[in-house]
């Protein structure tokens, strides 16, 4: 509806200029999507705000605007309603032409962004030798969706994995590695550390118990920071092993990331401190170098510092993020990414951290005017009991196990359904459908919640064929593919009509829904809330199902059949594109 809205908006502004020319009259008289179907397609509420300025009753202003409006080619005569709303209902033949124009178009009416921005999306970002947990899963799924959507809009997106691959924990890990597999460091022996998480736990246990080991670990940190080859080799080995486990999850989720871990910024850390010093922001407090934050006070009412260099000279998480943001915002001449927008997808618990990092970046003069720095927070993943998600034994849930279980359950549901329907299928089919549905269910359950709230993880709910779930959406898509197979004509061809004819209310509401796709994409681009796209696709599936349950399509009368087939085809294309932007693969049968 974007194009129509723009066209109407233009005419409305023209009419308004005649009724009340500036400076008294408004510069814009905004048009918005109608809040309810009975109000038509669009609504203009500007008359109310103007009543005071012009000293005329709002209804009179609205009527005067309508009298000056030339929109017969697009709408039914606009209606003045209530205290002074103007309601617009688009003509069916105009909707039909829009549907026609959109059919088979790869962008389905969504314009390319102007100007194209350079966007960094920082997401997933698990930590080496630690478990990639459900929080990282949320970040991975939400971040991937945002990156897909922004790329689709035409922005140049850099998907960065800010891997936790540096820090004092490596001292302990390397010391432990030297004990259990000394020969692996010289390259004489190839070790597979297998479960690195268990390895981390053993190292940690020793660290906590044994003072000698602690001493040794600290020595290893110093050696690593000094770049000693053997230490670097050990570090590389640990990273490689972790990376393999992470990559398996990314492959399964169909997520692409560019790895740029914390270690990447090591060489930039001293420059950050120097920069802050030069900007006059650095204060030495109790031996630590820090920046005092504006407008942020601790419990004691004292301004809070952001520590950038500890008393012992070491740097921390915040310093690395400062180096990262500086590098991302710097232009290519300064060895940077030249980002116009940087989005960080992490749990809401890191909100203060990012607010501090953004503030310091602004005050240090690293952020060019107009650039957008965003923390994209999300809530906790909880079990159905409302508590933190845990396994039955109380351990943290491993991602791999979680995905396996979703797929296993999807498989069980499928096999059961096929037995009921007396369908036979090859093993390959069951395999593929179960994997697709299981992964889709996990992703959709996450994306369909407003990300800022906590969400309750329930296999039963997310895998249900009923309700706002991935299986429900995929099933609507499969239905459309079924029509395509039976009709054989959905892919265009002879039955492609010269003019579509929208008449039945179900046809009209499906057409309207389909045409709203572009507006939804633009909204998500702004507020980075994938749940809006989910809600749209769920609504579209429902509208489509109603249409298909209530009207014959393949057996429709000749006058309606081409239009209905075209609506089915555009529904399939819109569902396919929309699910693709969510990072969800579709199926032709299930
Ligand atoms: N590794 C961090 C964690 O596990 C997330 C990093 C997010 N990105 C960033 N630039 N700080 O919580």
Say how many Å lie between the CA of residue 289 and the centre of ligand 1.
Answer: 22
Ligand 1: residues within 6 Å at CB?
122, 125-127, 162, 164, 321, 324, 344, 346
User: If pLDDT is split at 50, 70 and 90, which confidence band does 496 have?
Assistant: low
Annotate 135-191 with DSSP letters as a single string.
Answer: HHHHHHHHHHHHHHHHHHTT-EEEEEE--B--STHHHHHHHHHHHH-HHHHHTSS--
Asked whether the predicted pLDDT for residue 187 surpasses 70, the reply is: no
User: If pLDDT is split at 50, 70 and 90, which confidence band does 497 have?
Assistant: low
Say how many Å lie between the CA of residue 317 and the centre of ligand 1.
Answer: 9
Asked whether the predicted pLDDT for residue 395 surpasses 80, the reply is: no
Average pLDDT over residues 360-385: 94
Q: Whole-model pTM?
A: 0.94
The token pair that represents 583 in the structure block = 């990072």
Asked whether the predicted pLDDT for residue 198 surpasses 90, the reply is: no
Question: What is the residue with the minimal CA distance to atom 8 of ligand 1?
Answer: 162
Asked whether the predicted pLDDT for residue 493 surpasses 60, the reply is: no
pLDDT of residue 287: 93
User: If pLDDT is split at 50, 70 and 90, which confidence band does 352 have?
Assistant: very high
Annotate 198-243 with DSSP letters as a single string.
Answer: HHHHHHHHHHHH-HHHHHHHHHHHHHHHTT-HHHHHHHHHHHHHHH
Question: What is the residue with the minimal CA distance to atom 4 of ligand 1?
Answer: 126
Residue 78: name the closest of 15, 26, 3, 28 by CA: 15
The region of weakest confidence among 404-413, 494-503, 507-516, 557-566 is 494-503
Ligand 1 binding pocket mutation candidate from 261, 319, 350 (most atoms within 8 A of CB): 350
Say how many Å lie between the CA of residue 139 and the centre of ligand 1.
Answer: 10
The token pair that represents 263 in the structure block = 């270690």
Question: What is the residue with the minimal CA distance to atom 3 of ligand 1?
Answer: 126
pLDDT of residue 197: 80
CA dihedral 538, 502, 30, 21 (to 10 degrees): 180
Q: For 21, phi and psi rounded to 5 degrees?
A: -65, 150
Asked whether the predicted pLDDT for residue 185 surpasses 80, the reply is: no
pLDDT of residue 544: 98
Asked whether the predicted pLDDT for residue 489 surpasses 60, the reply is: no
pLDDT of residue 120: 98
Question: What is the residue with the minimal CA distance to atom 9 of ligand 1?
Answer: 162
Which atom of ligand 1 has the smallest separation from the CA of 350? 12
The token pair that represents 404 in the structure block = 């396996």
The region of weakest confidence among 113-117, 199-203, 260-264, 477-481 is 199-203
**Do 528 and 139 contact (CB within 8 A), yes or no?**
no
Say how many Å lie between the CA of residue 401 and the centre of ligand 1.
Answer: 23
Asked whether the predicted pLDDT for residue 495 surpasses 90, the reply is: no
User: If pLDDT is split at 50, 70 and 90, which confidence band does 505 have?
Assistant: very high
Asked whether the predicted pLDDT for residue 407 surpasses 80, the reply is: yes
Ligand 1 binding pocket mutation candidate from 139, 321, 346, 373 (most atoms within 8 A of CB): 346
Say how many Å lie between the CA of residue 149 and the centre of ligand 1.
Answer: 22
Asked whether the predicted pLDDT for residue 289 surpasses 80, the reply is: yes
pLDDT of residue 488: 64
Which atom of ligand 1 has the smallest separation from the CA of 346? 7
Q: What is the 3-state secondary structure (H, E, C) of 243-284?
A: HHHHHHHHHHHCCCCEECCHHHHHHHHHHHHHHHHHCCCEEE
Asked whether the predicted pLDDT for residue 385 surpasses 90, the reply is: no
Q: Which of the listed ranges 162-171, 416-425, 544-553 does the model predict with the highest average pLDDT? A: 544-553
Question: What is the residue with the minimal CA distance to atom 11 of ligand 1?
Answer: 321
Asked whether the predicted pLDDT for residue 387 surpasses 90, the reply is: no
What is the residue-averaged pLDDT of the chain? 92
User: How much is the CA Rg of the chain, to the nearest whole Å?
Assistant: 29
Say how many Å lie between the CA of residue 488 and the centre of ligand 1.
Answer: 50
**pLDDT single digits (tens) 28-73:** 778 999 988 889 999 998 888 888 888 889 999 999 999 999 999 9
Distance CA 190, CA 173 (A): 17
Say how many Å lie between the CA of residue 217 and the centre of ligand 1.
Answer: 24
User: If pLDDT is split at 50, 70 and 90, which confidence band does 27 have?
Assistant: low
Say how many Å lie between the CA of residue 150 and the centre of ligand 1.
Answer: 21
Buried b (16+ CB within 10 A) or exposed e, 498-531: eebebebebbbebbbbbbbbbebbeebbeebbbb
Asked whether the predicted pLDDT for residue 76 surpasses 90, the reply is: yes
Asked whether the predicted pLDDT for residue 81 surpasses 80, the reply is: yes
Distance CA 372, CA 445 (A): 28
User: If pLDDT is split at 50, 70 and 90, which confidence band does 133 have?
Assistant: confident
């Amino acid at each position: 509806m974007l194009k129509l809205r723009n066209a109407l908006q233009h005419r409305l502004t023209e009419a308004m200029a005649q009724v009340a020319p500036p400076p008294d009259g408004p510069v814009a008289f905004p048009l918005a999507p109608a809040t309810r179907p009975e109000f038509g397609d669009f609504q203009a509420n500007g008359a109310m705000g103007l009543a005071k300025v012009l000293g005329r009753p709002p209804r009179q202003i609205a009527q005067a605007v309508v009298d000056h409006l030339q929109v017969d080619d697009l709408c039914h005569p606009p209606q003045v309603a209530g205290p002074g709303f103007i309601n617009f209902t688009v003509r069916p033949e105009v909707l039909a032409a829009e549907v026609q124009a959109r059919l088979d178009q790869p962008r389905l009416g969504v314009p390319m962004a102007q100007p194209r921005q350079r966007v960094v999306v920082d997401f997933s970002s698990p930590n080496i030798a630690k478990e990639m947990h459900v929080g990282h899963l949320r970040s991975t799924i939400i971040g991937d969706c945002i990156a897909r959507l922004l790329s689709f809009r035409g922005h140049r997106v850099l998907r960065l994995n800010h891997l936790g691959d540096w820090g004092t924990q490596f001292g302990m890990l390397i010391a432990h590695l030297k004990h259990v597999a000394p020969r692996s460091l010289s390259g004489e022996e190839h070790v597979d550390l297998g479960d690195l998480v268990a390895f981390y736990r053993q190292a940690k246990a020793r660290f906590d118990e044994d003072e000698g080991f602690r001493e040794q670990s600290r020595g290893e940190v110093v050696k690593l920071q000094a770049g000693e080859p053997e230490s670097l080799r050990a570090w590389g080995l640990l990273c490689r092993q972790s990376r393999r486990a992470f990559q398996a999850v990314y492959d399964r989720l169909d997520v692409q990331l560019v790895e740029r871990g914390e270690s990447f910024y090591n060489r930039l850390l001293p420059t950050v401190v120097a920069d802050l010093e030069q900007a006059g922001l650095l204060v030495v407090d109790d031996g630590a170098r820090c920046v005092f934050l504006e407008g942020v006070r601790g419990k004691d009412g004292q301004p809070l510092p952001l520590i950038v260099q500890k008393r012992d000279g070491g740097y921390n998480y915040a310093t690395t993020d400062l180096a990262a943001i500086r590098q991302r915002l710097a232009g290519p001449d300064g060895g940077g990414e030249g980002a116009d927008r940087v989005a960080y997808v992490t749990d809401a618990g890191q909100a203060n951290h990012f607010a501090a990092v953004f503030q310091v970046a602004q005050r240090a003069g690293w952020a060019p005017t107009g650039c957008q720095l965003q923390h994209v927070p999300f809530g906790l993943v909880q079990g159905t009991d409302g508590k933190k998600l845990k396994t039955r034994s109380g351990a943290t849930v491993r991602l791999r196990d979680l995905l396996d279980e979703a797929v296993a359950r999807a498989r069980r549901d499928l096999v059961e359904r096929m037995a009921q329907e007396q369908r036979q299928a090859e093993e390959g089919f069951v395999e593929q459908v179960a994997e697709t549905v299981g992964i889709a269910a996990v992703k959709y359950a996450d994306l369909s919640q407003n990300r800022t709230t906590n969400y309750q993880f329930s296999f039963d709910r997310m895998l249900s064929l009923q309700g706002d779930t991935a299986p429900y959406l995929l099933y609507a898509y499969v239905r459309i593919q079924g029509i395509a197979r039976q009709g054989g004509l959905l892919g265009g061809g002879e039955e492609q009509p010269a003019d579509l004819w929208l008449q039945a209310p179900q046809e009209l509401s499906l057409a309207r829904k389909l045409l709203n796709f572009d507006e939804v994409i633009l909204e998500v681009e702004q507020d980075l809330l994938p749940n809006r796209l989910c809600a749209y696709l769920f609504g579209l599936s429902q509208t489509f199902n109603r249409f298909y349950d209530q009207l014959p399509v393949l057996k429709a009368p000749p006058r309606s059949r081409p239009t209905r087939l075209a609506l089915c085809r555009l529904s399939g294309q819109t569902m396919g594109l929309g699910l693709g932007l969510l990072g969800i693969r579709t199926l032709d049968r299930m």
